[in-house]
Amino acid sequence: RTFHQPRLRREAYGELVQIDGSEHRWFEDRGDPCSLLVFIDDATGKLMQLRFVRSESAFSYFEALELYLKNHGAPVAFYSDKHSVFRVAKKDAKGGQGMTQFGRALSELNIEILCANSSQAKGRVERMNRTLQDRLIKDLRLEGICGMDDGNAFLPRFMEGYNRQFAITPARPDDLHRSLNLAPDRLKEILCKREQRYVGAQLTFSFERQRIMLEETEVTRGLVGRYVETYAYADGRLDVRWKGHSLPYRVFDKDQRVTHAAITENKRLGDVLAYIKARQDERPAPKVKTNSEKIGYRPRGRKPGKRTDFMTDPAVVARRRQALSRQSAVEQGQPYPAQFNGE
Protein backbone atom coordinates (compact mmCIF):
# COMPACT_ATOMS: atom_id res chain seq x y z
CA ARG A 1 0.00 0.00 0.00
CA THR A 2 1.23 3.49 -0.88
CA PHE A 3 0.75 6.25 1.68
CA HIS A 4 0.44 9.82 0.39
CA GLN A 5 1.67 12.12 3.12
CA PRO A 6 0.09 15.59 3.30
CA ARG A 7 2.19 18.60 2.38
CA LEU A 8 2.01 22.21 3.47
CA ARG A 9 0.49 24.85 1.23
CA ARG A 10 2.82 27.06 -0.77
CA GLU A 11 3.58 30.24 1.12
CA ALA A 12 2.84 32.95 -1.46
CA TYR A 13 -0.08 33.81 -3.70
CA GLY A 14 0.73 32.98 -7.34
CA GLU A 15 3.60 30.63 -6.47
CA LEU A 16 1.76 27.47 -7.55
CA VAL A 17 -1.59 27.14 -9.35
CA GLN A 18 -3.22 23.72 -9.69
CA ILE A 19 -5.15 23.09 -12.90
CA ASP A 20 -7.46 20.28 -13.96
CA GLY A 21 -10.50 19.50 -16.10
CA SER A 22 -13.69 17.89 -14.82
CA GLU A 23 -16.09 16.28 -17.30
CA HIS A 24 -19.63 16.17 -15.91
CA ARG A 25 -23.28 16.90 -16.64
CA TRP A 26 -22.94 20.41 -15.26
CA PHE A 27 -26.33 21.49 -16.61
CA GLU A 28 -27.99 18.19 -15.64
CA ASP A 29 -30.72 17.32 -18.15
CA ARG A 30 -31.02 20.93 -19.35
CA GLY A 31 -27.92 20.76 -21.57
CA ASP A 32 -25.19 18.56 -22.98
CA PRO A 33 -22.33 17.31 -20.79
CA CYS A 34 -19.10 19.30 -20.99
CA SER A 35 -15.83 19.87 -19.15
CA LEU A 36 -15.02 22.55 -16.59
CA LEU A 37 -11.43 23.79 -16.48
CA VAL A 38 -10.44 24.69 -12.93
CA PHE A 39 -7.50 26.92 -11.87
CA ILE A 40 -6.99 27.14 -8.07
CA ASP A 41 -4.21 28.88 -6.15
CA ASP A 42 -2.37 26.50 -3.81
CA ALA A 43 -1.50 29.07 -1.12
CA THR A 44 -4.95 30.60 -0.66
CA GLY A 45 -7.38 28.02 -2.07
CA LYS A 46 -8.75 30.83 -4.21
CA LEU A 47 -10.54 30.01 -7.45
CA MET A 48 -8.50 31.80 -10.10
CA GLN A 49 -10.23 30.74 -13.31
CA LEU A 50 -13.22 28.59 -14.31
CA ARG A 51 -14.19 27.88 -17.89
CA PHE A 52 -16.78 25.62 -19.50
CA VAL A 53 -15.42 23.91 -22.64
CA ARG A 54 -16.55 21.03 -24.81
CA SER A 55 -13.56 18.87 -23.90
CA GLU A 56 -10.02 19.08 -22.58
CA SER A 57 -7.76 20.05 -25.46
CA ALA A 58 -4.80 22.30 -26.13
CA PHE A 59 -7.05 25.00 -27.62
CA SER A 60 -9.49 24.95 -24.69
CA TYR A 61 -6.63 25.32 -22.21
CA PHE A 62 -5.15 28.11 -24.36
CA GLU A 63 -8.47 29.94 -24.12
CA ALA A 64 -8.63 29.59 -20.32
CA LEU A 65 -4.95 30.48 -19.94
CA GLU A 66 -5.38 33.67 -21.97
CA LEU A 67 -8.17 34.80 -19.64
CA TYR A 68 -6.06 33.92 -16.60
CA LEU A 69 -3.05 35.89 -17.84
CA LYS A 70 -5.14 38.96 -18.64
CA ASN A 71 -6.85 38.92 -15.22
CA HIS A 72 -3.97 37.94 -12.93
CA GLY A 73 -0.65 37.86 -14.78
CA ALA A 74 1.79 34.95 -15.03
CA PRO A 75 2.23 32.66 -11.98
CA VAL A 76 5.49 30.95 -11.11
CA ALA A 77 4.24 27.44 -11.95
CA PHE A 78 1.22 25.36 -12.87
CA TYR A 79 0.61 21.95 -11.30
CA SER A 80 -1.31 19.42 -13.42
CA ASP A 81 -1.84 15.72 -14.01
CA LYS A 82 -0.21 13.77 -16.85
CA HIS A 83 -2.94 14.48 -19.37
CA SER A 84 -1.65 14.47 -22.95
CA VAL A 85 -2.24 18.23 -23.11
CA PHE A 86 0.52 18.76 -20.54
CA ARG A 87 2.94 15.89 -21.07
CA VAL A 88 4.26 13.77 -23.96
CA ALA A 89 3.95 10.14 -22.94
CA LYS A 90 6.75 8.80 -25.18
CA LYS A 91 10.27 10.13 -24.89
CA ASP A 92 10.90 9.61 -28.62
CA ALA A 93 7.56 11.03 -29.72
CA LYS A 94 7.35 13.24 -32.79
CA GLY A 95 6.88 16.27 -30.57
CA GLY A 96 10.63 16.79 -30.80
CA GLN A 97 11.82 17.85 -27.34
CA GLY A 98 9.19 15.83 -25.47
CA MET A 99 7.11 18.99 -25.03
CA THR A 100 3.43 19.49 -25.81
CA GLN A 101 1.95 22.59 -27.41
CA PHE A 102 0.75 23.78 -23.99
CA GLY A 103 4.19 23.15 -22.49
CA ARG A 104 5.88 25.04 -25.32
CA ALA A 105 3.57 28.03 -24.77
CA LEU A 106 4.29 28.08 -21.02
CA SER A 107 8.02 27.88 -21.72
CA GLU A 108 7.81 30.97 -23.94
CA LEU A 109 5.86 32.74 -21.18
CA ASN A 110 8.50 31.71 -18.60
CA ILE A 111 6.00 29.63 -16.58
CA GLU A 112 6.93 26.21 -15.20
CA ILE A 113 4.66 23.19 -15.65
CA LEU A 114 4.84 20.42 -13.03
CA CYS A 115 3.06 17.08 -13.55
CA ALA A 116 1.82 15.12 -10.54
CA ASN A 117 2.43 11.38 -10.35
CA SER A 118 -0.96 10.72 -8.74
CA SER A 119 -4.31 12.37 -8.22
CA GLN A 120 -3.58 12.54 -4.48
CA ALA A 121 -0.59 14.78 -5.17
CA LYS A 122 -2.90 17.46 -6.58
CA GLY A 123 -5.63 16.77 -4.07
CA ARG A 124 -6.61 20.42 -3.69
CA VAL A 125 -7.96 20.72 -7.23
CA GLU A 126 -9.45 17.21 -7.07
CA ARG A 127 -11.42 18.12 -3.96
CA MET A 128 -12.45 21.38 -5.60
CA ASN A 129 -13.88 19.39 -8.53
CA ARG A 130 -16.09 17.42 -6.14
CA THR A 131 -17.16 20.61 -4.39
CA LEU A 132 -18.08 22.28 -7.68
CA GLN A 133 -20.01 19.22 -8.84
CA ASP A 134 -22.26 19.81 -5.83
CA ARG A 135 -22.31 23.56 -5.16
CA LEU A 136 -21.95 24.93 -8.70
CA ILE A 137 -24.56 22.59 -10.18
CA LYS A 138 -27.13 23.81 -7.65
CA ASP A 139 -26.38 27.45 -8.41
CA LEU A 140 -26.67 26.79 -12.16
CA ARG A 141 -30.03 25.15 -11.52
CA LEU A 142 -31.27 28.11 -9.48
CA GLU A 143 -30.17 30.52 -12.21
CA GLY A 144 -31.86 28.42 -14.91
CA ILE A 145 -28.63 28.20 -16.93
CA CYS A 146 -28.72 25.58 -19.70
CA GLY A 147 -25.59 26.08 -21.83
CA MET A 148 -21.88 26.88 -21.81
CA ASP A 149 -22.19 30.49 -22.98
CA ASP A 150 -24.56 31.49 -20.18
CA GLY A 151 -22.56 29.35 -17.76
CA ASN A 152 -19.29 31.12 -18.60
CA ALA A 153 -20.99 34.48 -18.12
CA PHE A 154 -22.14 33.37 -14.65
CA LEU A 155 -18.80 31.90 -13.46
CA PRO A 156 -17.06 35.20 -12.48
CA ARG A 157 -19.93 36.01 -10.11
CA PHE A 158 -19.79 32.50 -8.66
CA MET A 159 -16.00 32.71 -8.12
CA GLU A 160 -16.29 36.07 -6.39
CA GLY A 161 -18.82 34.75 -3.88
CA TYR A 162 -16.92 31.51 -3.29
CA ASN A 163 -13.56 33.23 -2.75
CA ARG A 164 -15.07 35.77 -0.39
CA GLN A 165 -16.35 32.94 1.80
CA PHE A 166 -13.63 30.27 1.59
CA ALA A 167 -10.27 31.77 0.48
CA ILE A 168 -7.63 32.02 3.21
CA THR A 169 -4.73 34.39 3.87
CA PRO A 170 -1.35 33.05 2.65
CA ALA A 171 1.68 32.67 4.92
CA ARG A 172 3.47 35.44 3.01
CA PRO A 173 1.77 38.60 1.73
CA ASP A 174 3.73 38.60 -1.56
CA ASP A 175 1.94 38.31 -4.89
CA LEU A 176 4.27 36.39 -7.21
CA HIS A 177 2.25 36.96 -10.36
CA ARG A 178 4.21 38.83 -13.05
CA SER A 179 2.86 41.14 -15.71
CA LEU A 180 3.43 39.92 -19.27
CA ASN A 181 3.90 43.20 -21.13
CA LEU A 182 3.03 41.47 -24.40
CA ALA A 183 1.10 42.83 -27.35
CA PRO A 184 -2.22 41.01 -27.93
CA ASP A 185 -1.02 39.72 -31.31
CA ARG A 186 2.13 38.33 -29.73
CA LEU A 187 0.10 36.48 -27.09
CA LYS A 188 -2.08 34.99 -29.84
CA GLU A 189 1.05 33.72 -31.60
CA ILE A 190 2.17 31.98 -28.42
CA LEU A 191 -1.22 30.45 -27.58
CA CYS A 192 -1.63 28.47 -30.80
CA LYS A 193 -0.43 25.19 -32.26
CA ARG A 194 2.96 25.56 -33.92
CA GLU A 195 4.61 22.81 -35.94
CA GLN A 196 7.31 22.42 -38.57
CA ARG A 197 6.56 21.01 -42.02
CA TYR A 198 8.98 19.80 -44.71
CA VAL A 199 8.59 21.49 -48.11
CA GLY A 200 8.77 19.06 -51.04
CA ALA A 201 10.02 19.58 -54.58
CA GLN A 202 6.61 20.86 -55.70
CA LEU A 203 6.52 23.53 -52.96
CA THR A 204 3.91 21.49 -51.09
CA PHE A 205 3.58 19.94 -47.64
CA SER A 206 0.97 17.98 -45.72
CA PHE A 207 -1.08 19.50 -42.92
CA GLU A 208 -4.19 18.12 -41.19
CA ARG A 209 -4.96 15.66 -44.03
CA GLN A 210 -4.65 18.39 -46.62
CA ARG A 211 -2.00 19.38 -49.15
CA ILE A 212 -0.76 22.94 -48.80
CA MET A 213 0.86 24.53 -51.86
CA LEU A 214 3.09 27.57 -51.40
CA GLU A 215 2.75 30.31 -53.98
CA GLU A 216 5.88 30.55 -56.11
CA THR A 217 7.88 33.65 -55.13
CA GLU A 218 11.54 34.55 -54.83
CA VAL A 219 11.44 33.44 -51.18
CA THR A 220 9.55 30.17 -51.61
CA ARG A 221 11.72 28.98 -54.52
CA GLY A 222 14.57 28.49 -52.07
CA LEU A 223 12.50 26.58 -49.50
CA VAL A 224 12.56 23.18 -51.24
CA GLY A 225 14.04 20.69 -48.79
CA ARG A 226 13.63 23.07 -45.85
CA TYR A 227 11.18 23.29 -42.97
CA VAL A 228 8.55 26.01 -42.61
CA GLU A 229 6.58 26.75 -39.44
CA THR A 230 2.78 26.50 -39.28
CA TYR A 231 0.63 28.51 -36.86
CA ALA A 232 -2.83 26.95 -36.34
CA TYR A 233 -5.33 29.09 -34.42
CA ALA A 234 -8.50 28.08 -32.58
CA ASP A 235 -10.76 29.82 -35.13
CA GLY A 236 -9.42 27.62 -37.96
CA ARG A 237 -6.93 30.10 -39.42
CA LEU A 238 -3.57 28.78 -40.62
CA ASP A 239 -0.45 30.90 -41.04
CA VAL A 240 2.70 29.56 -42.75
CA ARG A 241 5.97 31.31 -41.90
CA TRP A 242 9.63 31.22 -42.76
CA LYS A 243 11.96 33.05 -40.37
CA GLY A 244 9.02 35.07 -39.06
CA HIS A 245 7.68 36.12 -42.48
CA SER A 246 4.23 34.96 -43.61
CA LEU A 247 4.16 32.99 -46.86
CA PRO A 248 1.26 33.00 -49.35
CA TYR A 249 -0.29 29.59 -49.95
CA ARG A 250 -3.39 27.81 -51.14
CA VAL A 251 -5.00 24.51 -50.23
CA PHE A 252 -4.31 22.06 -53.04
CA ASP A 253 -6.34 19.07 -51.74
CA LYS A 254 -9.95 20.00 -50.99
CA ASP A 255 -11.73 16.66 -51.33
CA GLN A 256 -10.78 15.27 -47.92
CA ARG A 257 -13.57 15.85 -45.46
CA VAL A 258 -14.04 15.33 -41.74
CA THR A 259 -16.88 12.94 -40.96
CA HIS A 260 -19.49 13.35 -38.26
CA ALA A 261 -18.51 9.90 -36.97
CA ALA A 262 -14.97 11.09 -36.28
CA ILE A 263 -16.28 13.97 -34.19
CA THR A 264 -18.59 11.64 -32.26
CA GLU A 265 -15.98 8.96 -31.56
CA ASN A 266 -13.07 11.18 -30.55
CA LYS A 267 -13.79 12.98 -27.28
CA ARG A 268 -10.83 15.34 -27.62
CA LEU A 269 -11.73 16.89 -30.92
CA GLY A 270 -12.55 20.43 -29.92
CA ASP A 271 -13.90 23.53 -31.49
CA VAL A 272 -11.46 23.47 -34.39
CA LEU A 273 -12.85 20.29 -35.96
CA ALA A 274 -16.41 21.40 -35.33
CA TYR A 275 -15.63 24.72 -37.03
CA ILE A 276 -14.01 22.96 -40.00
CA LYS A 277 -16.93 20.55 -40.27
CA ALA A 278 -19.43 23.43 -40.33
CA ARG A 279 -17.50 25.07 -43.16
CA GLN A 280 -17.31 21.81 -45.09
CA ASP A 281 -21.06 21.28 -44.78
CA GLU A 282 -21.59 24.62 -46.50
CA ARG A 283 -19.92 23.21 -49.63
CA PRO A 284 -21.42 20.38 -51.69
CA ALA A 285 -19.74 17.02 -51.25
CA PRO A 286 -17.16 16.36 -54.00
CA LYS A 287 -17.90 13.62 -56.51
CA VAL A 288 -15.87 10.50 -55.81
CA LYS A 289 -14.27 9.21 -59.03
CA THR A 290 -14.10 5.52 -59.86
CA ASN A 291 -10.81 3.88 -60.80
CA SER A 292 -11.93 3.78 -64.44
CA GLU A 293 -12.59 7.53 -64.41
CA LYS A 294 -9.23 8.23 -62.76
CA ILE A 295 -7.25 6.45 -65.52
CA GLY A 296 -9.41 7.90 -68.30
CA TYR A 297 -11.05 4.62 -69.41
CA ARG A 298 -13.86 4.96 -71.94
CA PRO A 299 -16.06 1.90 -72.67
CA ARG A 300 -16.16 0.87 -76.34
CA GLY A 301 -19.47 0.95 -78.17
CA ARG A 302 -21.11 -2.12 -79.77
CA LYS A 303 -20.51 -2.84 -83.46
CA PRO A 304 -23.34 -1.62 -85.65
CA GLY A 305 -25.85 -4.17 -86.89
CA LYS A 306 -28.71 -6.27 -85.62
CA ARG A 307 -27.91 -8.59 -82.75
CA THR A 308 -29.04 -12.23 -82.97
CA ASP A 309 -31.55 -13.37 -80.39
CA PHE A 310 -30.40 -16.92 -79.63
CA MET A 311 -33.68 -17.79 -77.89
CA THR A 312 -36.17 -16.95 -80.68
CA ASP A 313 -34.18 -16.81 -83.94
CA PRO A 314 -35.70 -19.48 -86.35
CA ALA A 315 -32.36 -20.66 -87.77
CA VAL A 316 -30.89 -21.09 -84.31
CA VAL A 317 -33.98 -22.95 -83.08
CA ALA A 318 -33.82 -25.33 -86.13
CA ARG A 319 -30.13 -26.15 -85.54
CA ARG A 320 -30.85 -26.80 -81.88
CA ARG A 321 -33.65 -29.26 -82.79
CA GLN A 322 -31.40 -31.10 -85.28
CA ALA A 323 -28.73 -31.53 -82.64
CA LEU A 324 -31.23 -32.94 -80.15
CA SER A 325 -32.64 -35.41 -82.74
CA ARG A 326 -29.12 -36.57 -83.71
CA GLN A 327 -28.22 -37.15 -80.08
CA SER A 328 -31.45 -39.13 -79.48
CA ALA A 329 -30.80 -41.38 -82.53
CA VAL A 330 -27.29 -42.21 -81.39
CA GLU A 331 -28.50 -43.16 -77.93
CA GLN A 332 -31.16 -45.55 -79.43
CA GLY A 333 -28.76 -47.13 -81.98
CA GLN A 334 -30.77 -45.96 -84.97
CA PRO A 335 -29.24 -44.68 -88.25
CA TYR A 336 -29.24 -40.95 -88.82
CA PRO A 337 -32.30 -39.63 -90.59
CA ALA A 338 -31.73 -38.80 -94.23
CA GLN A 339 -31.82 -35.09 -93.60
CA PHE A 340 -28.86 -35.44 -91.19
CA ASN A 341 -26.74 -37.34 -93.77
CA GLY A 342 -27.24 -34.73 -96.41
CA GLU A 343 -29.28 -37.16 -98.56
Angle, CA 62 vertex, CA 61 and CA 66 arms, to 5°: 115
Among 68-77, 126-135, 201-210, 280-289, where is mean pLDDT lowest? 280-289
- % of the chain surpassing 70 pLDDT: 79
> ∠ CA 83-86-91 to the nearest 5 degrees?
90
d(CA 220, CA 230): 15
CATH number for 17-182: choose from 3.30.420.10, 3.40.640.10, 3.40.50.300, 3.40.50.720: 3.30.420.10
Query: What is the per-residue pLDDT across 89-102, written as a single tens digit (0 to 9) for each?
Result: 665 544 445 678 99
Q: State the Cα–Cα distance between residues 192 and 46, nearest whole angstrom.
A: 28
Q: Quick one: DSSP state of residue 336?
A: P
Mean pLDDT over residues 282-300, rounded? Answer: 71
Mean pLDDT of the chain: 82
| Residue in 247, 234, 141 with CA at minimum distance from that of residue 188 | 234
Domain ranges of the chain: 17-182, 185-282
The pLDDT-based confidence of 261 (bands split at 50, 70, 90) is very low
Radius of gyration over every alpha carbon of the chain, rounded to an integer in angstroms:
35
